[in-house]
Structure 1
Amino acid sequence: MAIAKAERLMNLALCLMNTRRPLAKRELRLSIEAYREIGTEDAFNRMFERDKDDLRELGMVIETVEALDGETGYVARRDRNRLPEIALDAEEAAALSLAARVWQQARLAGAASGALQKLRAAGVPFTEEGYGEGHSVIEPHIPAHEPAFEPLMLAARDRRPVVFEYRKASAVRPETREVEPWALECWRGHWYLAGWDRERSARRVFRLSRITGRVRPRGGRFTAEVPDHVDVRQTVASWAGEGATSTARIRLRRGAGYPLRAKAVETVPASGEWAADWDELEIPYGHGLDAWLVEFGADAVVLAPEELRADVIDRLRAVAKG
């Protein structure tokens, strides 16, 4: 969320919570500097309605009251917007501390650390290591090096559509994609975004490392319904051949293709003219394996099945033509 908007929402929340009577929109406009700077009444009304909806989405209870003079007033009563006392047992405290320590990169690190300090001040049983008595110290972290991570995380949280340039594994040039982001998930060291591709009218999963340029926000709300559960890993795993019932035979140059080697159910030295520098691997074969194999370029050669070999060759030819 932009700093200007966050400040405006905070000022609106403070006004609504610190008034003894409902305030009309005209009073709120005079009280909040950001609203006073809006040029027209229509523009102010649109901004105010958006801000009010955003506060309600964040959990704030805002009451609408019809005043005697016919104006509509707004108020957020303190007794209806007070959080209950926080009480965590040792296991829950450990889980929160572990989650906070995971984010060593991206902007969440500072927010997570500050949240733990507030919980400690409220009496939650965190030790200096953050876990409470009886829990060993762990230092996990999830890397988030991709520049697209933070804007996509915020867009998914705020339910805001985005536009970005995306280069598929088989393409030379990126394509413009307009997406309603649902969820981000890390799988085997890579971050993936699941969401609704507006142009294709279908759900899609995007690897963040293939997003080029800046992630740009799009106006408006989501047009597609967000599913209750978004299983990013299952989709990516199916592309990578996880859970496949058949296998593929790959010739792989020694010293290359370590992700392929990690998946292999069998690895043997190549024979004949390939013996000096190549191995032969048997790996699970599933949907999307052809796109993955293209990434290894000349270091991987498909031996079988024939349809996989043909798909890889077609993709490589498409890259060469580009």
Structure 2
Amino acid sequence: MAIAKAERLMNLALCLLGTGRPLSKRELRTSIEAYIEAGTEDSFNRMFERDKDDLRELGMVIETVESVDGDTGYVARRDSNRLPPVTLDAEEAAALGLAAKVWQQARLAGAASGALQKLRAAGMPLASETEISALEPRIPTGEAAFEPLMIACRDRRPVTFAYRRSNAAQAHTRQVEPWALECWRGHWYLAGWDRERQDRRVFRLSRITGPVRSRSGTFTSEVPDQVAVREAVAEWAGENPTSQARIRLRTGAGYPLRARATVVRGHDESWDELEIPYGHGLGAWLAEFGPDVVVLEPAELRADVVDRLRAVAKG
């Protein structure tokens, strides 16, 4: 879900829960920033109806009542929306502890640490640091651009930065309305609206040179409800499949490849044969599976994977 919509739903939920009386559409529109900026009355009505339905699908009980002056009002009573006591067993508590450590390198580390402290204070059986030290998953956030872009996505603030494309010798300034950040194949990407090109774009954070600067003003384009960062990266990198590749995969290995395969058939006790969509970038992915994968065809893909594995062996 895009940050803008999540923020809008949260604000609507807080408004409906925070008052002791039903609120009319007019009152909600003048209380929530996204509704104030909605433009026409029709745009607001469509947005509000979608948001109300989304909250109900998430389990929120929203009542529709008639007020004294005849207007329709909406209210979410606390007694109807109270969650039961949260209880965690040892395995679930350990999973939360690991999840909190994922963000220890980023700005969310403080919030994660605070959440763990509250759970400990409530008597939850959280594992100690030494107990989970063997498993310390981390979201890599080494790029300096990550934190300012994360804040800009949250606050819906336009930004400017110098960006060098993979095939360019020099960086150029980009003016972007940031939508969402996502990590894919070990790299962070930003999806947003490129003002100069008047189109959606995806930027790899490691190619941002220099500081990210926040700009004044509001977004000029509508933030999509869903931002498919990975699909956009694959599309613009030319990774959309154009044909089929045939590979041999060791039995019991390569589950991501099996999930992507269009055909899986047994070859012998040790190997299976798969057909998978073939596009740009597949060679690098297959090389990650090392000796568990043998490329049968096409020949250029086989050569690509062999070259990559030889380079790794020499290194």
Q: TM-score, normalising length from structure 2?
A: 0.52
Q: Partners in 2 of 1:101 and 1:246 — Cα distance?
A: 40
CA offsets per residue over residues 107-138 of structure 1, 9 Å max, x none? 2111111111222233321033286xxx5554
Given that residues 162 and 179 in structure 1 are in contact (C-alpha distance below 8 angstroms), is that contact kept between their aligned partners in structure 2?
A: yes
Q: How many residues align?
A: 240
Q: Partners in 2 of 1:180 and 1:240 — Cα distance?
A: 31
Match of 2:311 in 1: 264
CA pair 233-83 structure 1, distance change in 2 beyond 3 A: farther
**SS of residue paired to 2:113:** helix
Match of 1:176 in 2: 174
Match of 2:86 in 1: 86
Residue ranges of structure 1 left out of the alignment (5+ in a row): 251-259, 268-280, 282-322
Given that residues 181 and 190 in structure 2 are in contact (C-alpha distance below 8 angstroms), is that contact kept between their aligned partners in structure 1?
A: yes
Q: Partners in 1 of 2:224 and 2:18 — Cα distance?
A: 36
Alignment of 1:36-47 (within 5 A): none
Letter in 1 for 2:213: R
Establish whether residue 76 from structure 1 lines up as the match of residue 76 from structure 2.
yes
**SS of residue paired to 1:246:** helix
Larger radius of gyration: 1
Match of 2:222 in 1: 221
Q: Partners in 2 of 1:29 and 1:195 — Cα distance?
A: 26
Establish whether residue 16 from structure 1 lines up as the match of residue 16 from structure 2.
yes
CA pair 197-176 structure 1, distance change in 2 beyond 3 A: closer
Match of 1:208 in 2: 205
Match of 1:238 in 2: 281
Deviation at 1:29, TM superposition (A): 9.3
**SS of residue paired to 2:111:** helix
Q: Partners in 2 of 1:155 and 1:90 — Cα distance?
A: 37
Deviation at 1:98, TM superposition (A): 0.8
CA pair 29-191 structure 1, distance change in 2 beyond 3 A: closer
Q: Partners in 1 of 2:152 and 2:54 — Cα distance?
A: 14
Deviation at 1:68, TM superposition (A): 3.3
Q: Partners in 2 of 1:231 and 1:224 — Cα distance?
A: 15
Given that residues 16 and 76 in structure 2 are in contact (C-alpha distance below 8 angstroms), is that contact kept between their aligned partners in structure 1?
A: yes
CA pair 94-145 structure 1, distance change in 2 beyond 3 A: same
Q: Partners in 1 of 2:53 and 2:134 — Cα distance?
A: 38
Alignment of 1:83-162 (within 5 A): 83-129=83-129, 137-153=134-150
CA pair 101-174 structure 1, distance change in 2 beyond 3 A: same
Sequence identity of aligned pairs in percent?
A: 49
Q: TM-score, normalising length from structure 1?
A: 0.51
Residue ranges of structure 2 left out of the alignment (5+ in a row): 240-279, 287-300
